[in-house]
Each structure stands twice: as structure tokens, then as C-alpha cells.
């Protein structure tokens, strides 16, 4: 009997779920069968308010017509075409449209299929750039504690989450880490950027003194650390990092997989903070999360270094079969059209004050030890249950799902990042769900 026949329909065992407590999930599955705008629908027909834009990606909301139509028509016209030594018009059009909205100077785009691939692409570009410049001794990569840069080997090496690193043996060598910027003793319940902690960027000078600048290729940070609980950079911190990188000829890479495409109320976090990186990593919102895609933006100075040598030779030995896949590009164009028509890349700025007020109204609710926010993203940190870390937040997540709201938890932190089409009423509804589940689990 083939394997196919042994498995009963909807048997849950074959799918090994990512970043999931598989056995627990399969005892009491939480399933979505459809989605529209701000809501999911569950298998039992309940509507669930999306408080997390899927997985920080569905910035324009669900099943938006411009995007679904673009995908359908592209699939019937040109389903796949290689981008290795071949091309198709839509990938060039999409790259141009992306460069139009990117921070000034980030003029070239390299396509990938995910945030993790974008990260590894950016790290490779940084090292290869220095080498192409004749500076081949610059190979070190500096990440940051509590950084999340996806799950590929480059990304977990520069990332700073112990559970994502400790199982996987030898990671990249030549990596060091800046300290994280989470200072609850000084900054708890800050609205927007914290006052304290800019000096933590000076640690880069210590790392430079230890390794010598001539060995360091790049520093990679998330402008706002998302997956480890929405850690907003202290005032002046990113400006300091930029200045120290410039002083020592080190490239600055921003991982904007979460912050890109309007999350902070500006197109990119680089715009919000007024700090432009040399390389900017994106994914998720580039296609509204609908088709897997990532895009790495680089300055001309980096791109152009590669463009020498004989014309017939490949300049950068890197790329993916699906880099610039036509259907992903169509989804991306439909996404950019939707963002533009509805002003979504700046809508977060209009809602930020309401979001902040609503979120901080949770201060004083059971077990809340910190609240953080910026743009249209925020986190509520809970006191862990002694001996059972993560359980309190996870219970709140399950109860919220049962009540009709999708949250995301990381450790004992509840993170929220609704689609940018959210209304003020839906923000209040989301926060009321959180309030209720905190009271229920008190």
C-alpha cells in the first residue's frame, strides 16, 4: 500500500509544523480556512480579528482584490521564467517600483524568497563587496543579542536567540554580537523610543578595538527588534551605530523584514529614524505575505563595485531559482498598488497615537510588567509564572483565539501588529480582548 493510502484525510501527523509545539497543537488544532480584510474564519465558522497581520506580513489585509487578480492573471500568462541569464519584463518593473519607494540611495534590488534568504544574501554581499574592493580581510559580521534574522546558518549566526542557535553545532565563525537594548529597569512603559540606552551603540567601538576595523565587514541589526518582543531602539542609538560604522568603513545592514512597508507609519524604518543603511533587507510585506518573496536593497556604491571585469562574466555567484519569480512580482505589484491607493505606507502614522493610547491602557492589568509601542506595532510583557516561563503568554494567546483575536507571543511577551487597514474601533476591540484574557488568567 502506498503511503498516500495509509494516511486518512486530514490526518495531522504528516505535516511537521514549524516553530510549533506540534503534539500540543495536534491535540487541539487551531485552524483557519479563509480570510478577508481584517478577519480570519476558523473551521467552525468563527471570525477572528487579525492582530498580527498573519505573521507580521499581511500589511494590506487579507485577500485584497488587486493582489489576487494580479496573481491569477500572471499565472495564466507567464508562470515561470528563469532569471539566471534570462529575464522577463515584470521583474524589472517591480524592481524599479520598489526603488521608487525605498530610502534615497538604495537603488538596486536583489530578489529572494524569504526573510532568511534575504539575510544570507545581504551578509554574502557585504563580505563579497569588501573583497571586490580589494579589502578581503574584512570578513567579520557583527549582530546583536536578541536579534532575529531568520533561520538559515548566516542568520542564526548573527542572530541572538539562544534556542535558535544552540542545537546547530558550529555556526559561522568570525561573528560577534552587540548587547541588546532592552533595559526594562530604566525604560519600562515607555511610549515610543526610550530615553535610555543610546550609549549601548558604543559597544561597537569595543568590538572594533578587539578585532580591528580592518577585519569587520558589516553590522546587522533590526531597527526595531520584532520577534524578541518589539524592542524599540533608544533615542539616538541607530544614529550612533551609523556614525561608528562610517568612521571605520563598516557596512550597516538594516533587517527590515518586519519594519518594512509601512509598519512604523513610514515606508521603511530607515525613513522613520532618518538613518539610511548600506543594505536593507525586506520580505513579508513586499508581497503582502501572499507569495513568498524577499528583496534586498543596496546602495549603488555596493552594486557598482561588482560591475567590473569582463562583461560576459557573472559578477555575483549567488541567486535562487525563484529570485524574481513572475507570479511573486505580480503579487508585489498588486501589493504596491494597494499600498499606494490606500495610503497604507503612511497610514500607521495617523493611527499611532490611538494605538499607543489603547495599548498603554493595559498598564495595571494582571501581570503586565512592561508595554512598548512604535508606529503600528506593540508589545505587552507579562511576569512569567515561576518555573513555567512562556506559559502565561501562551495561555493568553489561546484564550484570545477562542474569544476571536489572533495575537502572537514570544516568551512571555504578547506582540501585536495588525494589518495597516485596521480601524480605531478594531484597535479598541483587539486591546479589549487582551484585557479580558489577562483578567481571565489572573
Polymer length of the chain: 442
Residue tagged 524568497 (cell numbers)? 113
CB of 112 to ligand PLP, least distance (A): 9
Q: Which residues pair with 405 in a beta bridge?
A: 49
CB of 284 to ligand PLP, least distance (A): 6
Q: What's the CA gap between 6 and 199, in Å, rounded?
A: 60
**C-beta of 213 vs 225, nearer to ligand PLP:** 225
CB of 328 to ligand PLP, least distance (A): 13
Provide φ and ψ at 329, rounded to 5°: -65, -40
The string of DSSP letters for 61-109 reads: -BS-HHHHHHHHHHHHH------SS---HHHHHHHHHHHHHSPTTEEEE
Alpha-helix runs per DSSP H in 280-423: 300-306, 326-341, 344-360, 391-403
DSSP three-state, residue 40: strand
CB of 254 to ligand PLP, least distance (A): 9
Task: Give the chain's largest Cα–Cα span.
Answer: 68
CB of 255 to ligand PLP, least distance (A): 4
CA dihedral (342, 348, 354, 358) in degrees, to 10, reads: 120
**C-beta of 162 vs 314, nearer to ligand PLP:** 162
**C-beta of 208 vs 218, nearer to ligand PLP:** 218
**C-beta of 59 vs 208, nearer to ligand PLP:** 59
Give the residue closest to ligand PLP by C-beta: 115
Contact positions vs ligand PLP (CB under 6 A): 56, 114-116, 119, 148-150, 222, 226-227, 255, 257-258, 283
The grid coordinates of residue 269 equal: 524604518
**C-beta of 120 vs 399, nearer to ligand PLP:** 120
CB of 416 to ligand PLP, least distance (A): 15
CB of 367 to ligand PLP, least distance (A): 26
**C-beta of 190 vs 228, nearer to ligand PLP:** 228
**C-beta of 64 vs 144, nearer to ligand PLP:** 144
Q: What's the CA gap between 299 and 109, in Å, rounded?
A: 9
Amino acid at each position: 500500500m502506498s503511503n498516500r493510502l495509509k494516511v486518512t484525510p486530514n490526518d495531522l501527523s504528516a505535516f511537521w509544523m514549524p516553530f510549533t509545539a506540534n503534539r500540543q497543537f495536534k491535540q487541539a488544532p487551531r485552524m483557519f480556512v479563509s480570510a478577508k480584510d481584517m478577519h480570519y474564519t476558523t473551521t467552525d465558522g468563527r471570525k477572528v480579528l487579525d492582530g498580527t497581520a498573519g505573521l507580521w506580513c499581511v500589511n494590506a489585509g487579507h485577500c485584497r482584490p488587486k493582489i489576487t487578480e494580479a496573481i491569477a492573471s500572471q499565472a495564466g500568462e507567464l508562470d515561470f521564467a528563469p532569471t539566471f541569464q534570462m529575464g522577463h519584463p515584470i521583474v524589472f518593473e517591480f524592481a524599479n517600483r520598489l526603488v521608487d519607494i525605498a530610502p534615497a540611495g538604495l537603488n538596486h534590488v536583489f530578489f529572494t524568497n524569504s526573510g532568511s534568504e534575504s539575510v544570507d544574501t545581504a551578509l554574502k554581499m557585504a563580505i563579497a563587496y569588501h573583497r571586490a574592493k580589494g579589502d578581503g580581510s574584512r570578513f567579520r559580521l557583527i549582530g546583536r543579542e536578541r536579534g532575529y534574522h531568520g533561520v538559515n546558518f548566516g542568520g542564526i549566526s548573527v542572530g541572538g536567540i539562544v534556542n535558535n542557535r544552540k542545537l546547530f553545532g558550529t555556526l559561522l565563525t568570525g561573528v560577534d554580537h552587540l548587547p541588546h537594548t532592552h533595559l526594562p529597569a530604566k525604560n519600562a512603559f515607555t511610549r515610543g523610543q526610550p530615553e535610555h540606552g543610546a550609549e549601548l551603540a558604543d559597544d561597537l567601538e569595543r568590538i572594533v578595538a578587539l578585532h580591528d576595523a580592518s577585519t569587520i565587514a558589516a553590522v546587522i541589526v533590526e531597527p526595531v527588534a520584532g520577534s524578541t518582543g518589539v524592542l524599540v531602539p533608544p533615542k539616538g542609538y541607530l544614529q550612533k551605530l551609523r556614525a561608528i560604522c562610517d568612521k571605520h568603513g563598516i557596512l550597516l545592514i538594516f533587517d527590515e523584514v518586519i519594519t518594512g512597508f509601512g509598519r512604523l507609519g513610514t515606508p521603511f524604518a530607515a525613513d522613520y529614524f532618518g538613518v539610511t543603511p548600506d543594505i536593507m533587507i525586506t520580505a513579508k510585506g513586499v508581497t503582502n505575505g501572499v507569495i513568498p518573496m524577499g528583496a534586498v536593497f543596496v546602495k549603488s556604491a555596493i552594486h557598482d563595485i561588482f560591475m567590473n571585469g569582463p562583461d560576459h562574466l557573472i559578477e555575483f555567484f549567488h541567486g535562487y531559482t525563484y529570485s524574481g519569480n513572475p507570479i511573486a512580482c505580480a503579487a508585489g505589484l498588486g501589493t504596491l498598488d494597494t499600498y499606494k491607493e490606500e495610503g497604507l505606507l503612511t497610514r500607521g502614522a495617523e493611527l499611532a497615537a490611538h494605538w499607543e493610547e489603547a495599548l498603554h491602557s493595559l498598564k495595571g492589568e494582571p501581570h503586565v510588567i512592561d508595554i512598548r509601542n512604535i508606529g503600528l506595532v506593540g508589545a505587552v510583557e507579562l511576569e512569567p509564572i515561576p518555573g513555567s516561563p512562556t506559559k502565561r503568554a501562551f495561555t493568553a494567546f489561546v484564550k484570545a483565539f477562542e474569544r476571536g483575536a489572533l495575537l502572537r507571543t514570544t516568551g512571555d511577551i504578547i506582540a501585536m501588529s495588525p494589518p495597516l487597514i485596521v480601524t480605531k474601533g478594531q484597535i479598541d476591540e483587539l486591546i479589549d480582548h487582551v484585557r479580558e484574557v489577562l483578567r481571565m488568567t489572573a
